[in-house]
Amino acid sequence: MQLNDQLKKGMENARSALMAIFTTFRFLCRQGLSIRGHEDPGSSPGLKERMGRSSYKWLSHDIQNEIIDILGKSVLHSVVCEMKKREHFAIMVDETCDISIHDQNKNYDTLFTFWKKNVGAISSSGCLEEKPTHVEEPQLPRRRRIPKRFQNPCATEPHIFFTPKDYFRQEFNCTELQKLVSVEKEYVSAVIAVNDTTPKLEKTREFFRSDLDTDRLLLHLTMLGDIAIRKRVTITSIRDIQEFLKEDSTVRDILPEVNKCIKLLSTVPVTKATAERSFSALRHLKTCLRSTMVHKRLNNIALLNAHQAVLHNLDLRPLVNEFIKSNTVRRITFALF
């Protein structure tokens, strides 16, 4: 009985040390830090005793990669489950060049294969992120004086923009954004259409494809215009339609296709800043000191660093149990939770 108690206590101490290792890995991956550095004087006694061993420290490169892979798969599963709960979402795909200056287009097929397997059929226009509700008004950037050594008296003066609207129009003059604006104009024109005109939703049909029933949407938009006139509500933009539906739940239930199209428009990303942030994070993750990192580990670390909130809220006990159950040696070394 005494040997059993001692063995059980040793397994629990080993489990505590393993839990400390998982917690440390979670913190380092969340912050984008490398797994190296000085010893923490406040670490657990069980972890200190295990670090002092000559073997079976459970910190080899393979063990590190396995722990990071377990954390990455758990975060990915949480993100996919959260997306399955959403009614509408979008996929934001961006790419960067590799060391041979070639775009990584081949990874698109891998992405779509994963998506169909884990989420389901790919829609033509769902969304991943919504437009922010509180955005500061844009400002003109500060004009910078050209250094004298670069000044050319024969050159023409640079164009001066007097309003933020003119400046950002030339800065973000993208085709997809223009399509989105034309779709919004079609919605508003269909709501406020005069009786002798027959509005068409050609841009909407081209942009959303099978996500919306355009014939039914046109009927609901016409009904929305009649209801707005009867209730003396002025509609001049998509925001007016959104506020009207938000205040009157009855109209929202009567016109489901209008409600659906408003959700889709509110969910379409207006910028690709989220995708660009992942490239900015790669600068901190793939440094000259970590240039030998394998592709799988880099993917997991980038995923963990991008979804810090999800990683922080993970319950590590099921993950520790998954790690312990993977082979016999671990089952006789660590106690399960």
Between 124 and 85, the more confident residue is 85
Torsion angle of C-alpha atoms 242, 244, 246, 251, degrees rounded to 10: -110
Q: Which of 1-10, 15-24, 260-269 has the lowest mean pLDDT?
A: 1-10
Q: Cα separation of 304 and 313, whole Å?
A: 12
What is the predicted pLDDT for the residue at 209?
A: 80
Type of residue at 171:
E
Q: What is the pLDDT of residues 214-233, one digit of tens each?
A: 888 888 888 888 888 888 88
Q: Are 92 and 275 in contact (CB under 8 A)?
A: yes
Q: What is the pLDDT of residues 15-36, one digit of tens each?
A: 888 898 899 899 999 988 888 7
Between 264 and 126, the more confident residue is 264
Q: Are 200 and 183 in contact (CB under 8 A)?
A: no
Closest CA to 121 of 217, 211, 216: 211
Q: Cα separation of 17 and 26, whole Å?
A: 14
Q: How confident is the model at residue 271 (pLDDT cuts 50, 70, 90)?
A: confident
What is the predicted pLDDT for the residue at 315?
A: 93
Q: Which of 33-42, 129-138, 180-189, 310-319 has the lowest mean pLDDT?
A: 129-138
Type of residue at 57:
K
Q: How confident is the model at residue 147 (pLDDT cuts 50, 70, 90)?
A: confident
